[in-house]
Amino acid sequence: MTRFAKSALAALISLCTPLAVPLGVTQAVQAADLGVYSDDDGGVCGEAWVLNKITSRFSHQVHHVPHLPNVQITDFRRIHQHRYLAANETWPIGRRYCGATVSLSDGRDRTIWYLIEEGQGFASIGDNVEFCVSGFDRWMVYNGRCRILR
Distance of CA 42 to the CA centre of its chain: 14
pTM flag (> 0.85): no
* pLDDT tens-digit map of 19-30: 444 444 433 333
Burial of 82 (0-12, 13-18, 19+ CB in 10 A): exposed
* pLDDT tens-digit map of 47-61: 999 999 999 999 999
Q: What are phi and psi of 149, to 5 degrees?
A: -90, -10
- Determine the residue type at 60: H
- In this predicted structure, the answer to whether residue 64 has a pLDDT above a threshold of 60 is yes
Residue 95 DSSP label: E
User: In 10 A of CB 48, how many CB atoms?
Assistant: 20
